[in-house]
């Protein structure tokens, strides 16, 4: 984003904006904010703006926002490999596999050793069938799964065929385990956290998540919402 768009035509012709999504914002919140800022700046009635890959509200990091004609590139960008860092917390599960919902089960972690953790992590590298969380945007009879889940409805999701290219534990301070991961399209890191706990005969949830890379795009090149606004108003 060093070559910041100079004119309204730049945004309409198409831009790929790298945004550092803040904690608590939905991906749609970011798109709506960016869209409103551009419309206000240039007195536009409408402009196409969309994101290339959802980040959960409790996740931070790289969100790619496309404008104008570049919204046609969204599906291509979404298909690229993604890198994450984060923290898995052992000893407790939640229905959403993260901290968005209350704990449903707790477990003792005193018997888990670093050796067991590293050996278990190795099992997750490679191609596999992964079950998405019921609190996800997956469609169930035309309705998003998380909407059905919040209503207490029955949810039957199908597994995704995904590849986890890297899953490395970078720091262990039980019950917290920090990690870095590289995954293909359709992989849920929340499901990885849940499945990791299950493989340990324990329970786990995702407590921290940050996306750092999508294809060739990196978080180091991203701007905050405020940073984008400051650049926009000075043009």
Residues involved in catalysis = 56
Distance of CA 76 to the CA centre of its chain: 17
For 58, half-sphere exposure in the C-beta direction (CA atoms, 13 angstrom radius) is 16
Q: Which of 227, 129, 120, 114 is nearest to 171 (CA)?
A: 114
Taking residue 215's Cβ as centre, other Cβ atoms within 10 Å add up to 15
Q: Cβ neighbours of residue 31 under 8 Å, at least 6 residues apart?
A: 49, 50, 51, 65
Three-class SS of residue 19? strand
Q: Which residues pair with 177 in a beta bridge?
A: 88, 172
């Amino acid at each position: 984003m060093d070559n910041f768009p100079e004119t309204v035509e730049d945004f309409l012709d198409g831009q790929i904006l790298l945004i550092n999504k803040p904690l608590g914002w939905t991906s749609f919140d970011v798109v709506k904010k960016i869209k409103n800022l551009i419309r206000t700046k240039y007195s536009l009635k409408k402009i196409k703006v969309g994101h290339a890959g959802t980040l959960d509200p409790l996740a931070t990091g790289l969100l790619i926002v496309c404008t104008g004609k570049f919204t046609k590139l969204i599906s291509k960008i979404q298909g690229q490999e993604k890198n994450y860092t984060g923290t898995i917390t052992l000893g407790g599960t939640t229905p959403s596999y993260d901290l968005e919902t209350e704990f449903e089960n707790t477990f003792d972690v005193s018997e888990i050793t670093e050796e067991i953790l590293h050996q278990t992590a190795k099992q997750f590298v490679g191609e596999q069938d992964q079950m998405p969380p019921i609190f996800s945007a997956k469609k169930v009879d035309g309705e998003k799964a998380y909407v059905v889940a919040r209503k207490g409805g029955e949810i039957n999701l199908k597994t995704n065929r995904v590849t986890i290219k890297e899953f490395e534990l970078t720091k262990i301070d039980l019950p917290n385990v920090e990690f870095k991961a590289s995954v293909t399209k359709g992989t849920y890191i929340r499901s990885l956290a849940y499945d990791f706990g299950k493989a340990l005969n324990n329970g786990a949830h995702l407590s921290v998540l940050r996306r750092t890379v999508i294809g060739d795009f990196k978080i180091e090149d991203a701007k905050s919402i405020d940073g984008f606004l400051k650049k926009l108003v000075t043009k």
